[in-house]
Amino acid sequence: MALNLDKNTNVRMGMDQKSVGLVETKTHTFAKPPNELLLECGRKLGPITIAYETYGKLNDKKSNTILILHALSGDAHAAGYHSYDEEKAGWWDIMIGPGKAFDTNKYFVICSNILGGCKGTTGPMSINPESQKPFGMSFPMITVSDMVNVQKELIDHLGIKKVLCLSGGSLGGMQALQWTISYPDWVEAVIPIATTSRLSAQSLAFNAVGRNAIISDPDWNNGEYFPGKTPAQGLAIARMIGHITYLSPESMHDKFGRRLQEKEQYSYDFVTDFQVESYLHYQGIQFVERFDANTYLYFTKAMDYFDLAGKFGSLERAFEKIKSKYLVISFTSDWLFPAYQSREIVRALIKNGVDVSLCEIKTPYGHDAFLLENEQLTRLISSFLSNLKLKEK
């Protein structure tokens, strides 16, 4: 939940005056035996704990809920600060807060750590009640559908009968699509950003290489590295590979080019010569400090398995029961989930008579553009939300 702070407090804390301020992560536990959750893979899991944060106030009709769905490396901490000395705000703080795209003066915003996560929600790091040890690779294989079913349990727990809007980028966008398929009567509108209805062979390949980097690390130990040394090198390499796909050639050229790192000539040795090398090493190290290697394996595999056309016979058939209004957003320089994949989603929605708008934002920043400040993205979302019918009482 968010703790209300006045503007002076925010200033003293060095916070943006439009920040939601101090927030705390809450948890909800369900699916306790013998009522475990049946997963798509056929196995059962329970109990399940889901970590979540909320920002803004739920109105009397509980009609102003916006559910934010995070991508592979995200968590429940989408906005605000956990403490006075926290230097970095939540991962989508630029979009969530008073007067921002997801305006917490109007909306009750929820973000949860998805199933399989490593930031409070049940995942490979969690204790297996049968062995009293971390699950590791004994954790069942999960899918995007399973992630959505767990989020639906949270929505039920909070007493919300219908979500005004869902939004997320990348893996978050996949969850948004799945929500409107699994629970068509529960979602008024949806904003999938920089996402796809299924990974291309190239994206599958990048995920496979990342997983192999982790599995090949001798410290991975078949996923049983608790307690002890984690497969830090493998996870760092996986992150470096992934991070390359999140940027565009143009943005990498503008940011790094062929500039050398703290030197004027080549070292003629196998050390870091170029700035781009140093940057990727830094990204890998930072990621290892906050993320779990096994969670990376499970999340990327869930993305691999997400294939709406394959599951339903065609993308058009997958969207047959959708009742939600759609705003689909893509970025021109995104080569991981190219804009044509968003257009495929829109064409299938149109064939089903869905109220859908498409916007391709011109930007040089690639797949990760949805995580960066973008006035056009903010205006699009704000305008879309303002046109939704909101029951105040």
Q: Which residues are catalytic?
A: 170, 334, 367
Q: Are 108 and 54 in contact (CB under 8 A)?
A: yes
Find all residues with CB under 8 Å of 308, minimum gap 6, and list them.
Answer: 177, 181, 197, 198, 315, 318, 319
Buried b (16+ CB within 10 A) or exposed e, 190-208: bbbbbbbbbbeeebeebbe
Angle at 154 between CA 149 and CA 158, to 5 degrees: 145
Q: Which secondary structure element, helix H or strand E, spans residue 357, and what is its range?
A: strand 356-361
Tell me the longest C-alpha to C-alpha distance in the chain. 70
Residues in contact with 302: Cβ distance below 8 Å, sequence separation at least 6, in sequence order: 116, 141, 142, 143, 144, 146, 147, 171
Q: Which residues pair with 28 in a beta bridge?
A: 50
CA 45 vs. chain centroid, Å, equals: 22
Q: What sign for the dihedral angle of Cα 77, 53, 297, 191?
A: negative
